[in-house]
Amino acid sequence: MNQDGHYKSNTRDTFFNLFEVLKIQETTLGRGPFAEFDEELVRSTLETYEQFCSKELGGCWVESDRVPLKLDGDGNVTLPPGLSGAIKALYEGEWHMLDAPEHLGGMGSPPSVHWAAFEFAAGANPAAAFYVLGTTLAKALDPVVTDAQRDRFLKPLLERRWGATMVLTEPDAGSDVGAGRTRARDLGDGTWALEGVKRFITNGDFDGPENILHGVLARPEGAGPGTKGLSLFLVPKFWVNEDTSLGERNGVYCTNIEDKMGLKGSATCELTFGERGVARGVLVGEVHKGIRQMFRIIEQARMAVGCKSMATLSTAYLNALDYAKVRVQGPDLLKATDKSAPRVTIIHHPDVRRMLMLQKAMAEGMRALCMYTATIQDRIALSEQAGDTDAAKLAHRRNDLLLPLVKGYCSSKAYELLAVSLQCLGGNGYMRDYPIEQYIRDQKIDSLYEGTTHIQSLDLILRKVARDGGATLQGLLAEIETTVGELAEDGPLKVERDLLGRALKDIQGLFGAVMGKAGESLYHVGLQGNRILYATAEIIIGWLLVRQAQVASAALAGEGVSDKDRDFYRGKLASARFYCRAVFPGLTLARKLVESSTLELMELNEAVF
């Protein structure tokens, strides 16, 4: 099988989310900072970008996996030629400027449009998609750098298409960022000398750009322990003079490329600072607020990881669906004893249909979650530009609540479901002739980096929910309750109405139980955290799918619907109905398990294990 065309997008569902359900043409486009955008421009831009990603990025996806990266003695990494060419084409098309701020030369697209576009890149070739981190770094740090730093580093970062990184992890620290030991020494001339080793640095070096700008967390001499003692520094591969010309090679080198299970085209580097000459950097914003500044980048990265997982599951499902429609095997189950019965395509078999609909409902549900979260980010930008601080604060809190769900749930659940995608292909799924085995290897990292699933769970419960006494969560649950009230008791979605209402009671009971248990011991939060994150994501996804079913049902009741659109809308109803019946009963079980949580596991002697 030729895998050059492995990527299968779902632009119809993307546009359904944006324009029929979320209606960004009414809420976002043509307003405030997005005044230059309208529906026609967004549709044409996304359609063109999808075609680019499918052809250029998808065309080197296999090569990205099978042609090794090369590291020379001077710390330079060389990518496979096809991957380098695809990244160059992306820059030449100026796609990296889609969401860059206008005052930095970008188009300044709404977050909803940016994340819709990012799905295409991440689905077609996630390794390539993450080489364009420069825009993320520039956008995240733009509000906190000085004017001089903006002109010296951020503008050329975009205009001259430099690479960029976020540098946190150390060999002995891992997820415990506050344990980092990389040091920063003030040189007295406005620059700092960094010393230390960082690990797992995505795209820490690669050929193509004239420079790479590293955003590095380090501990200034005399600073205290933990994350509060960390500061953020900009450390370029080649020194950047005040007039933005490039100077000498800086003392930061790639000293190893990690040998990984998947996502092999993404150069995951060990970076060593200060071993081969001084590694000079500048303090971001000239203030020691490193972890707060870095989190502006981390939040973007977590959103990206969740979207990547969703994109991978979506294309895996569509590949499995195509296979199921052509693979002939066995008779229809109702004629299994008839030796003369004709063989049928496997989409006729009940278990294959169950697996396909599970993937369809979940992929569409994850897309709904990502796109809904993106529109909350639209709301933040619009409120801040309008000077409405109260609305901006509420939108920020809603976004903060949703991010651990986007990252934590999508990354963990997609990995489970990719095994279902592979299962649909039977033995062929295990072969490299088909793309799903690479999907699984490329995607597994998503539940590990940018904060593991359990880190997302603790963030959700202890920070995002407990921080404001559950007010932000209750506000979201109130909207779900409103949707339940909108559905007629005898309408076409009456079953979904009842199941969503039951799920709402279960999630309220679940959080009531965990807050009570937390008063007994935080170990209960640790033991039940992932279950709580899953349940929270699943009620929100189910709610969003029911809202989509409302829109689809109304469309089907109208006139002038094409046969193709009619099939699409029927598919939306099928997704919501299957999801509510297959997933919501699990929330009842989750609530009961949280309510009955004990500390027996924590009391065991470790020798038992």
Catalytic residues: 450
Kindly tell me the burial class for residue 218, based on how many C-beta atoms sit within 10 Å of its own C-beta (0-12, 13-18, 19 or more): buried
Q: What is the DSSP letter of 146?
A: -
Long-range contacts of 90-94 (CB under 8 A, 24+ apart): 90/52, 90/56, 90/57, 90/121, 90/128, 90/132, 91/132, 91/161, 93/52
Q: Are 246 and 240 in contact, with CB atoms under 8 Å apart?
A: yes
Q: How far is CA 450 from CA 166, 297, 456, in A?
A: 10, 10, 9
The residues near 176 (Cβ < 8 Å, ≥ 6 apart) are none
Token pair belonging to 559: 């006139």
Hey, which residues does 213 pair with through a beta bridge? Answer: 164, 236
From the DSSP assignment, how many helices (H) and strands (E) are in the chain? 22, 14
Token pair belonging to 199: 């690990």
**Strand blocks (E) in 114-273:** 163-167, 183-186, 192-202, 212-220, 231-236, 238-240, 246-249, 252-257, 268-273
Q: Which residue has the tokens 């991957």?
A: 83
The gap from C-alpha 156 to its chain's centroid, in whole angstroms, comes to: 27
Q: Which amino acid is at 315?
A: T
**Residue ranges in 387-449 assigned as alpha helix (H):** 389-404, 410-424, 436-443
Characterize the bridge pairing of strands 192-202 and 279-283.
antiparallel
The total number of residues written for the chain in this structure: 609
Based on its alpha-carbon atoms, the radius of gyration of the chain, rounded to whole angstroms, reads 25
Q: What is the DSSP letter of 275?
A: S
Token pair belonging to 59: 């065309």
Q: Are 308 and 443 in contact, with CB atoms under 8 Å apart?
A: yes
Token pair belonging to 374: 């993106």
Q: Are 60 and 125 in contact, with CB atoms under 8 Å apart?
A: yes
Q: Are 585 and 501 in contact, with CB atoms under 8 Å apart?
A: no
Cα(124)–Cα(182) distance, integer angstroms: 36
Q: Are 443 and 518 in contact, with CB atoms under 8 Å apart?
A: no
In terms of phi and psi (left: phi > 0; alpha: psi -120 to 50; beta: otherwise), the region of 226 is: left
Cα(340)–Cα(305) distance, integer angstroms: 50
Q: Are 100 and 107 in contact, with CB atoms under 8 Å apart?
A: yes
Report the candidate in 549, 571, 460, 533 with the shortest Cα–Cα distance to residue 499. 549
Q: What is the DSSP letter of 68?
A: P
Cα(363)–Cα(357) distance, integer angstroms: 10
**CA torsion angle for 165, 170, 173, 178 (degrees, to 10)?**
-50
Cα(460)–Cα(527) distance, integer angstroms: 14
